[in-house]
Amino acid sequence: MKGKQYNHEEIERIIADKIKQANELLKEVEELLDEESHLIKTESQSRLGELINGHIALSEHSEEIKEKSGTSQKD
């Protein structure tokens, strides 16, 4: 039992179609990766901002504690 026989032109057309499909899928994957990369970058920047703000708040609070403890020790 033999499969369907293809002539040379049909084989070239099938291969060209498959290459076109693969290129379209590759383009979609690249677009999705670009979107994901942008989202990760945005989230990372947001998180970094939160960490910096938290660090600043802790530093300010630490200074307040140092000032208060220095004042109370002098009393």
Domain spans, the chain: 39-75
| Cα–Cα distance, 32 to 21 (Å, whole number) | 17
Dump pLDDT digits (tens) for 7-31.
Answer: 999 999 999 999 999 999 999 999 9
The C-alpha angle with vertex 18 and arms to 25 and 1, in degrees rounded to 5, equals 135
Confidence of residue 75 (pLDDT cuts 50, 70, 90): very low
Q: For the whole model, what pTM was predicted?
A: 0.57
* Mean of pLDDT values over 54-69: 90
Q: Which helix (H) or strand (E) holds 39?
A: helix 8-74
* pLDDT computed for residue 66 by the predictor: 87
- Phi, psi angle pair for 45, to nearest 5°: -65, -40
Is the Cβ–Cβ distance between 14 and 6 less than 8 Å?
yes
| Cα–Cα distance, 54 to 44 (Å, whole number) | 15
